[in-house]
């Protein structure tokens, strides 16, 4: 289902309200969280609203979609750092309940299995927040990723590493791989909110609307999920019927 909003601030207000509803209904709810520019206004609005109304967030559980391999949580480009900056460090969460893949683990395969199992053991994700790449990726699930994938390690393409190198001191520091929840993990959430903003994603959305369901455009897997809401700003929706 497409929901079109005037701008990213309106999407953020809507999602903040939805998150608060879920937490009011179940203070121990498990949330699936994403990083990236798209999510920044969402977290900023949620933090502002919860500071104003004092909602108790101390029992929330969360699982982030992905993390780079080899970066510590102190590294400014790690997703752990992003989450602290934008959300976890802003409200009185219980850090023990907040999960990201551990990019420093020596036991990568085991860690990935444990991560998928921990999501299921927490009761499953009540609401999964998602952004999408212009090539249709969700999490680090790039085109071609099987829809039955669980948490796994992804080798980053040379293109992605070059694109990301601007955030690092040198190309050598750009991680070669990442850990991501798989598409099957994402689809196991009871509700999914995909946020798509900006003109640069308009063609991606047109491809979604016109195409079928194909691993070549990973986010088309969401067409198989009965409770997915796609929240667009007018720019991202500009090529849709």
Closer of 55 and 234 to ligand F6R (Cβ): 234
Classify strands 192-196 and 228-233 as parallel, antiparallel or unpaired: parallel
Closer of 61 and 67 to ligand F6R (Cβ): 67
Give the integer Cα–Cα distance in Å for 170 and 183.
31
Q: Kindly state whether residue 15 participates in binding ligand F6R, applying the rule CB under 6 A.
A: no
Tell the smallest beta-carbon distance from residue 147 to ligand F6R (Å).
Answer: 16
Q: Kindly state whether residue 185 participates in binding ligand F6R, applying the rule CB under 6 A.
A: no
Residues known to be catalytic: 66, 135, 137, 142
Q: Kindly state whether residue 36 participates in binding ligand F6R, applying the rule CB under 6 A.
A: yes
Give the integer Cα–Cα distance in Å for 5 and 15.
12
Strand order in the sheet with 228-233: 2-5, 228-233, 192-196, 127-130, 30-33, 61-64, 98-99
Q: Which residues, other chains included, contact 9 with Cβ-Cβ below 8 Å and sequence gap of 6+?
A: 41, 45
Of 2-10, 49-57, 100-108, 136-144, the window that binds ligand F6R (rule: CB under 6 A) is 136-144
Tell the smallest beta-carbon distance from residue 1 to ligand F6R (Å).
Answer: 19
Distances (CA, A) of 61 to 94, 124, 139, 213, 230: 8, 10, 19, 31, 23
Q: Kindly state whether residue 138 participates in binding ligand F6R, applying the rule CB under 6 A.
A: yes
Tell the smallest beta-carbon distance from residue 117 to ligand F6R (Å).
Answer: 20
- Per CB under 6 A, residues contacting ligand F6R are 34-38, 65-66, 131-133, 137-139
């Amino acid at each position: 289902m497409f929901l079109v909003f005037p701008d990213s601030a309106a999407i953020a207000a809507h999602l903040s309200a939805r998150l608060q509803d879920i937490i009011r209904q179940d203070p121990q709810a498990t949330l699936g969280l994403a990083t990236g520019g798209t999510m920044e206004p969402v977290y900023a609005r949620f933090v502002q609203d919860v500071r104003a109304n004092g909602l108790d967030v101390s029992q929330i559980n969360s699982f982030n979609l992905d993390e780079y391999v080899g970066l510590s949580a102190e590294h400014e480009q790690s997703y752990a750092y992003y989450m602290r900056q934008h959300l976890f460090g802003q409200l009185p969460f219980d850090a023990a309940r907040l999960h990201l893949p551990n990019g420093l683990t020596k036991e990568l395969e085991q860690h990935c299995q444990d991560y998928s199992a921990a999501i299921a053991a927490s009761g499953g994700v009540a609401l999964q927040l998602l952004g999408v790449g212009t090539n249709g990726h969700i999490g680090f699930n790039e085109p071609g990723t099987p829809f039955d994938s669980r948490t796994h390690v992804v080798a980053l393409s040379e293109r992605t590493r070059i694109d990301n190198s601007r955030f690092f001191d040198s190309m050598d520091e750009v991680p070669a791989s990442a850990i991501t929840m798989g598409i099957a993990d994402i689809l196991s959430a009871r509700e999914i909110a995909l946020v798509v903003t900006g003109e640069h994603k308009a063609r991606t959305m047109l491809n979604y609307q016109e195409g079928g369901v194909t691993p070549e455009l990973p986010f088309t897997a969401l067409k198989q999920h009965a409770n997915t809401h796609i929240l667009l700003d007018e720019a991202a929706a500009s090529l849709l019927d």
